[in-house]
């Protein structure tokens, strides 16, 4: 049993949205993802850190979900990215996945999942690009805290779509929550192409940060726990 993470699969199997705007690494990225997932075993868990499908609705994203569901791994825990316009209420998403038989797809939203002695927590997060809608920001803080609280006394790993840290930027409120709940490591996506060089990785205060956007990790899910 192992735990893996990757973000930003940016699938569009039903509509073929070109990904080359993000740079050359995206050429043939669906095949690269399929290959990268060969490292994942049938009993493993994979956290998917948002920007999963370009579909505008659950129906439009169905082919992308079918692809993700077909990849190895007993559970894929999905969190919301800024491009996941298909995102819906948890009950609608769960019903859709159940109806379609996508049994490995689970939603990480206001909740957490157990993994051995760890709790896997997460939400979309917040980034300065969003340009100050205080309500949305406060809602994200509430979601993050709900997820961390749900973990109780377990050790915690946190998954976000947006980077809480970036060169010249830190989201003090999110970092404060990660530290308050003694999160050991935080994994995030969202940054592509030229933005990679501005990513903050490694230990910052008590928390270790990792960028796991698909193009940053060569489309290979990253193993984080055995």
147: its two tokens: 């997820």
Q: Which is nearer to Fe ion, 139 or 154 (CB)?
A: 139
Q: Which helix (H) or strand (E) holds 175?
A: helix 172-180
178: its two tokens: 């990660």
Q: Which is nearer to Fe ion, 156 or 190 (CB)?
A: 190
Q: Which is nearer to Fe ion, 155 or 196 (CB)?
A: 196
Instruction: Tell me how far CA of residue 201 lies from CA of 122, 163, 205, 209, in angstroms.
Output: 18, 10, 12, 5
CA proximity to 214, closest of 64, 86, 36: 36
Q: Which is nearer to Fe ion, 97 or 216 (CB)?
A: 216
Q: In what order do the strands lie in the sheet with 112-115?
A: 112-115, 118-123, 155-160, 183-188, 207-211, 202-204
Q: How far is the CB of 153 from Fe ion (least distance, A)?
A: 32
Q: How far is the CB of 74 from Fe ion (least distance, A)?
A: 25
Return residues touching Fe ion (CB under 5 A).
8, 51, 81-82, 190
Q: How far is the CB of 128 from Fe ion (least distance, A)?
A: 13
Closest residue to Fe ion: CB criterion: 51
Q: How far is the CB of 201 from Fe ion (least distance, A)?
A: 17
Q: How far apart are CA 162 and CA 166, in angstroms?
A: 10
């Amino acid at each position: 049993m192992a735990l893996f993470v990757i973000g930003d699969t940016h699938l569009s199997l039903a509509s073929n949205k070109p990904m080359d705007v993000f740079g050359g690494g995206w050429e043939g990225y669906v095949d690269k993802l399929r290959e990268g997932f060969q490292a994942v075993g049938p009993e493993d868990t994979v956290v998917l850190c948002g920007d999963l499908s370009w579909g505008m609705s659950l129906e439009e994203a169905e082919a992308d979900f079918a692809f993700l569901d077909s990849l190895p791994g007993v559970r894929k825990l999905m969190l919301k990215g800024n491009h996941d316009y298909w995102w819906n209420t948890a009950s609608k998403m769960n019903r859709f996945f159940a109806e379609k038989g996508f049994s490995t797809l689970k939603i990480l939203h206001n909740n957490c999942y157990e993994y051995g002695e760890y709790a896997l927590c997460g939400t979309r997060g917040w980034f300065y690009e969003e340009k100050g809608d205080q309500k949305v920001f406060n809602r994200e803080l509430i979601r993050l805290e709900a997820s961390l609280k749900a973990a109780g006394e377990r050790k915690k790993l946190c998954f976000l779509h947006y980077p809480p840290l970036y060169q010249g930027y830190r989201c003090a409120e999110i970092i404060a929550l990660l530290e308050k709940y003694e999160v050991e490591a935080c994994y995030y996506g969202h940054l592509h192409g030229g933005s990679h060089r501005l990513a903050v990785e490694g230990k910052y205060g008590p928390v270790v940060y990792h960028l796991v956007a698909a193009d940053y990790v060569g489309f290979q899910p990253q193993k984080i726990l055995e």
